[in-house]
Structure 1
């Protein structure tokens, strides 16, 4: 069966779609960065355990903020049938991103010896955040917020085929025709 440009988008079209998604991801992420940096800065001014866990506290608050943005704005059209699965995966991948982000901060403090609040802010919220964000972007779009499955008609080898994927199979088409015929018969019976 012949494929069309609409059914098999070019690399440029795929990248354009991905870049739009990346921009929205960045907007939600930027909101999280502001929340993260603000909470981190406040926690650094505290004493005791709050100061010690400031990176984890700040990242946790930002994760909550970002989930709301991703679920209800960026990925609102994605499958939300299993919210429990989605939240579980979101928290797992966010946790890994948090470990990446705060691991870089820990490396800069404990290995490189950067102890000032400014150097920690740069290590965590610039270097760590970039590395964690790249990881989160690909893991969220791949595993957490899955695209809704398209209705697909399968050809002989079991693979969906472009625009024909929206065409019902023979048995589905026959069932639709029978329902339409039954509805017409009911309508004519009422008219008599």
Structure 2
């Protein structure tokens, strides 16, 4: 049992970070899939639907990951992070576009189930790329420890 405790302590921050990333990702997945299917229902086409769905779900994911998952990491500027975040999401979008395009135009599967399975496969592949790339280029390691509590200001507040 001591081995398990030491192993957990060694990877505790990674486990928590992955749990938060997964939670944000799960909500973003629901947003993505819901909007993707809404756009398909509106007959926007599978690739256009994917771009619209990814843009909206990625915006949610940025806010969630910046202010919850990776809040302990340095903040290198909103413009820089937002630009890199969406650039990397654009690359990850290619995974979805390729799987959906392959399903529709190569396999000639046009039904809703096939397109949704292709979307799920693309989201899965894109998620692996996004987690790795966010840690590497967007949400950088903190150069100084970030305090858990705010420092005392010396100003007393009477109630």
**Superposition TM-score tier, normalisation by shorter sequence:** 0.7 to 0.9
| Pair 1:148 & 2:139 matched | no
Task: Check 1:11–1:140 CA distance in 2 against 1; reply closer, same or farther (3 A cut).
Answer: farther
Supply the distance in 1 between the matched residues of 2:26 and 2:81 (Cα, whole angstroms).
Answer: 22
The aligned length equals: 139
* 2:82 alignment counterpart: 87
Match of 2:73 among 73, 78, 86: 78
Runs ≥4 in structure 1, deviation > 3 angstroms?
10-16
1:96-153 CA distance string (max 9 Å, x none):
01111221111111112211011101111x21111000000000011100021138xx
Match of 1:128 among 122, 126, 134: 122
The alpha carbon displacement at 1:37 in A equals 0.6
| Pair 1:21 & 2:24 matched | no
Higher CA-based Rg: 1
The alpha carbon displacement at 1:14 in A equals 4.6
Please provide the CA RMSD for this pair: 1.7
**5+ unaligned residues in a row in structure 1: which ranges?**
1-9, 152-192
**5+ unaligned residues in a row in structure 2: which ranges?**
1-5, 146-159
| Pair 1:31 & 2:31 matched | no
